[in-house]
Amino acid sequence: MIARNVLVALLALICCSPCAYAETPEEWIALGTRIHGFFGAFIPVGIRIGLDARERLKAEPRELTVVYMSGEKAPCPCIADGIMLATMASPGQGTLQVSPDKAPPGTLGLAIVRSRKTGAALKYTITEVWIGKLIDLNKTRDAAGRYEAVMGAPDLFTVEPAAP
């Protein structure tokens, strides 16, 4: 019983520590499935945005805030869950917000990602042309195929500095 309690405590520590982070496609898929309930093609869009923002803003996990807005035609704000996975921004910590405001016309979604240390911010825009492509990936590819297609997709989003 003591060994089981120690194992449970260790697993909790590993899963809840800032170091709990996916690195391989299989780990991203498993984490996305566990957190979101399904690893559709919208999740890796968010993962890709989150990883890109971390690199550009030179931020570690939990050092970014995110505001996400869905477009008028977007089926869901699932992209926000992918961003959450990659940045470790969290609605519970107040560092990730899904805005009730809509993204501009013609967009699937828009994310403002800001460094908590420097205040520097980036605006990520995904055009609505991606809605049909991502839905088709959900119908024609397995989770690994979706991940691979989205992570390698050219022109998936545009990125520009955001106002302070």
And the tokens for 50? 């989150």
Strand order from edge to edge, sheet including 107-115: 96-98, 64-70, 107-115, 121-127, 158-161
pLDDT of 12-46, one tens digit each?
Answer: 333 444 445 688 999 999 999 999 999 999 999 99
The pLDDT value given to residue 17: 41
Average pLDDT, the chain: 89
pLDDT at 6 over 50: no
pLDDT at 140 over 70: yes
The pLDDT value given to residue 164: 75
Residue 26: partners with Cβ closer than 8 Å, 6 or more residues away: 144
Share of the chain above pLDDT 90, in %: 82
Q: Which domains does the chain have, with CATH numbers?
A: 21-161 (3.30.1330.130)
pTM of the model: 0.86
The pLDDT value given to residue 44: 98
pLDDT of 60-88, one tens digit each?
Answer: 999 999 999 999 998 889 999 999 999 99
The answer to whether 31 and 22 have CB atoms below 8 angstroms apart is yes
